[in-house]
Structure 1
Amino acid sequence: MKFKEKLVLSHILVSLISIVTSIILIDYLVRFFFIRIIIGRGVSIVIPASATRFLNTVRITILISGGISILLSILVALFISRYIIKPVVDMKDFARKISQGNFEARINKHNEDEIGELAESLNYMAFRLGEIEKLRTKLMQNVSHDLRTPLSSIKGYLEVLKDKNFTIEEKQEAFNIIENEIERLEKMAKDLTNLSSADSKTLPLEFERVNLINILKSTFESFSIKIKDKGLNPIIEIPDKPIFILGDSLKLKEIFSNLIDNAIKFTKSGYIKIAAIEEKDKVKVVVEDSGLGINEKDLPHIFERFYKGENNKDGNEGMGLGLSIVKEYVYAHNGEIYVESEIGKGTKFIIQFPTAP
């Protein structure tokens, strides 16, 4: 049975119940009060034929009015059901379109009631599904593109290793390049794993009271050789006393490692700086460089997944997931992250964490 038929039937049943209840009550009340008023109180007497006809007339009148009420109820139910069913039919058609992959479909909001709120919720759901589908398509495109380059490179240098005409030095260089390409593939796989964990809200975080100063020192020192090899000046400005936060030390190192590595990558000359500033109930960490800077139009998007700015659009350094993962890790630590940058003058990433007592 369709919903419209159920709605009409419910109106009929309500009318029938009302009519039957009315007949029983009115019959009883009319007899009771008729006897008390016309015949007299406390007198047991046979009701005259005229009184009986009157009572029968009342019953027939109730039945006729009940029949008319049922017919009117059916007409009203048919009219109202069309009004009520229309949004439901629209939602059914909408659901069919979504199941067919049409995430641009939307439902017209007819009323400011619960059905209207449901329509708004379904429209938002369609919007989010559309965004997820775009991300999925972009993921497949990026993975396909970014895997093709290192795999082609590995394949090409394997040919070098098999060719006896190349010298030992050339083959050693091929080994080094293959090793670097494999490391890139490992980083891509790690980024995808981290992204999957962030999406499913199952980041393997082990929170404890950690000294953020020690983490900053050790992480920055691990890049000291890379910084000096590029001819950059390492600057570290952190207090001598410990600053404690609640966090996962491994994930915190990943946050700062990613930011420092990016700073080195996009800085040709000048400095790489890390600083920590303790405030009232939080600590601010700044990772700064004197590099290329970020284009103003790229700034609002740098934390988006798969986004590559102008400075890295043609590069093969990952899939554009690093900063989005950094943001997820920072948020998982109840922190905030934002960026300041100017073309030709460098970039500054500022992260704030709540301090632990």
Structure 2
Amino acid sequence: MSIRLKLTLWYSVVLAATLVAFGVAIYLFVNFNTYKEMKDRVRVQASQIRIGSTLDYDFRVMPTSALDEEMFIQIVNYKKGSIQSTSNLIENDIMIPYPKPTSPDLRKDNYAHVIAGNYPFIVYQHAIRDKTGVIGLLQVAAFSGREDKFLDELRNTLIFSLIVVVLIAFTIGLFLARQALRPIENVIRASDLIQHGSDLSMRIPREGPPNDEMGRLADTLNGMLGRIETTYNELDDAYKAQRRFVSDASHELRTPLTTIRGNIELLEKMWLPLLESPQYQEQLDQNSSLSSHTLSKQAQQAQFTREAMQDIAGEAKRMSGLVNDLLSLARADAGYEMEKTPQQLVTLVEDVARRAQLLPRTAEWIIGDLSALEGVQVNAHADFLRQLFFIFVENAFKYTPNGSVEMRAIRSANQAGIVIKDTGIGMNNDEIPHIFERFYRADESRGQTSGTGLGLSIAKWIIDEHEGSVEVSTREGEGTTFIVWLPITFLDNSYQV
């Protein structure tokens, strides 16, 4: 419910309650005064009538002041069970209802609003007593039809007026609230344009007096937007500079790293004949029981050189992997779009499973059931998809010093899932939201394992480019399971899963 509608409803409810209270007060006031006048009149008429103990009264000798055509008099004789009435009651065949002599209403004079002969009356009742108790009843009545009709019309008029006034007030209030809150709608509209657009230089236009609430709100929001724009531009410039540096540095480092690896391979080939020569091996055998400093100077140099070349080759290989990862992320940041074509998923996965056997590992490699991928085609970039699966497999090998790593396939509706499950060290569930962040390492035990911390970030980018998803389940000390889901573009139903 909008603020405009809430305000209008609140004001309408308050107005309706006020009008109801005012209308009830008017009705009760008019009702009281209208009937009070009639009650006073019938009471005065009753006071002019003198009735003896015999309860016989000759209405022909009634005082002139009591001969009112709109007054109706009835005398009830409880002893004889007779009733005397004025002619206007007799002519209209009307008998005013009367209470029993034992009724509590006769303990004192009272007024009653009764219906007699389908006509409304206000009746003043005066009990006639002797030593034995109530022996009769004097009833003086006045016709109240006009007053009742007037009060009914007054009540209906008040109710109708209340409804009309509330509806008019609600409509006008809604309009006025809309006009009053229009600046807020303009603020919301402008904020939406800024939120969904790319131009942070837009500002919220000001309306109305400069010092009112809307003006101050617009100034505050514009000031905040200015700070956001400045901060965003600074971060954007820094991010662009970082991306350019990563991209340029990665490209520039590839050539020298390739040169280093090539020269190391050349040096290894040059030193290999010496290291494998019979003289060098004989010298090593002769001095095998001695410490390294007792070897000949030439043998020591050869051994140190070989170890240094191995270290340089290993670091160069690691840096080449890091540079390749950085290049992949630079492509992702630059909005690189993969050229995807229909691929038989089972062929790609089987190729990865076969080549994964050659990866360095200490865990057992298990190729599970891949029949769920039979006949399944996905729209994919073959090389990037292989890289995706290798990232998860290599990651599982790294963190599974003992146990096993398994790859299998499942299918659900129009998606194919590739499961990579290990029985390694696992991780805390709190780490799952962060494992796809760049350079993130889950904990100290994982930090001791070699790697750049970029593999899963690249994997997530490849999955997103293929419009897929990934599920992660893990338990510390028991292992981790990744399920990569890819949308199926074609399914050959001739294969039975």
Q: Shared topology, TM-score over 0.5?
A: yes
Deviating more after overlay: 337-346 vs 234-243: 234-243
Match of residue 23 from structure 2: none
- Alignment partner for residue 333 of structure 1, among 466, 470, 494? 466
Match of residue 81 from structure 1: 210
Q: Secondary structure at the match of 1:287?
A: strand
5 Å-filtered alignment, 1:228-247, equals: 230-239=362-371, 241-247=374-380
Match of residue 171 from structure 1: 305
- Alignment partner for residue 355 of structure 2, among 218, 222, 243? 222
CA RMSD of aligned residues (A): 3.7
Q: 1:186 corresponds to which letter in structure 2?
A: S
Match of residue 189 from structure 1: 323
| Offset at residue 266 of structure 1 (A) | 0.5
Name structure 2 gaps, 5 residues minimum. 1-205, 269-296, 491-497
Cα deviation digits, residues 292-331 of structure 1 (max 9, x gap): 111222122111222211132344510x221122111111
Q: How high is the sequence identity, in percent, across the aligned residues?
A: 24
| More RCO (CA 8 Å, sep 6+) | 1
**Contact 1:267–1:290 at 8 Å: present in 2 too?**
yes
Report the structure number with the largest CA radius of gyration.
2
Match of residue 410 from structure 2: 277
Match of residue 336 from structure 2: 202
| Offset at residue 217 of structure 1 (A) | 1.2
Name structure 1 gaps, 5 residues minimum. 1-76, 104-124
Cα deviation digits, residues 255-302 of structure 1 (max 9, x gap): 101000000001111211111123332111101111111122212211
Question: Distance between the aligned counterparts of 1:226 and 1:236, measured in 2?
Answer: 18
Q: Secondary structure at the match of 1:341?
A: strand
| Offset at residue 186 of structure 1 (A) | 1.7
Question: Distance between the aligned counterparts of 1:99 and 1:223, measured in 2?
Answer: 49
**Matched residue pairs, number?**
235
Q: Which has the higher helix share?
A: 1
Match of residue 94 from structure 1: 224
**Contact 1:224–1:234 at 8 Å: present in 2 too?**
no
Q: Secondary structure at the match of 1:298?
A: helix
Question: Distance between the aligned counterparts of 2:363 and 2:440, measured in 1?
Answer: 29
5 Å-filtered alignment, 1:39-78, equals: none
- Alignment partner for residue 352 of structure 1, among 465, 485, 490? 485
Question: Distance between the aligned counterparts of 2:207 and 2:481, measured in 1?
Answer: 66
Match of residue 306 from structure 1: 439
**Contact 2:406–2:420 at 8 Å: present in 1 too?**
yes
**Contact 1:244–1:355 at 8 Å: present in 2 too?**
yes
Question: Distance between the aligned counterparts of 2:211 and 2:300, measured in 1?
Answer: 82
Q: Which has the higher strand share?
A: 2
Cα deviation digits, residues 180-207 of structure 1 (max 9, x gap): 211221222222222222223223x111
Q: Secondary structure at the match of 1:226?
A: coil
> Relative to 1, partners in 2 of residues 1:165 and 1:241: Cα closer, same or farther, differing over 3 Å?
same
**Taking structure 2 as the reference length, what is the TM-score of the superposition?**
0.42
> Relative to 1, partners in 2 of residues 1:187 and 1:233: Cα closer, same or farther, differing over 3 Å?
closer
**Contact 2:207–2:215 at 8 Å: present in 1 too?**
no
Q: Secondary structure at the match of 2:358?
A: helix
**Taking structure 1 as the reference length, what is the TM-score of the superposition?**
0.57
Question: Distance between the aligned counterparts of 2:384 and 2:424, measured in 1?
Answer: 25
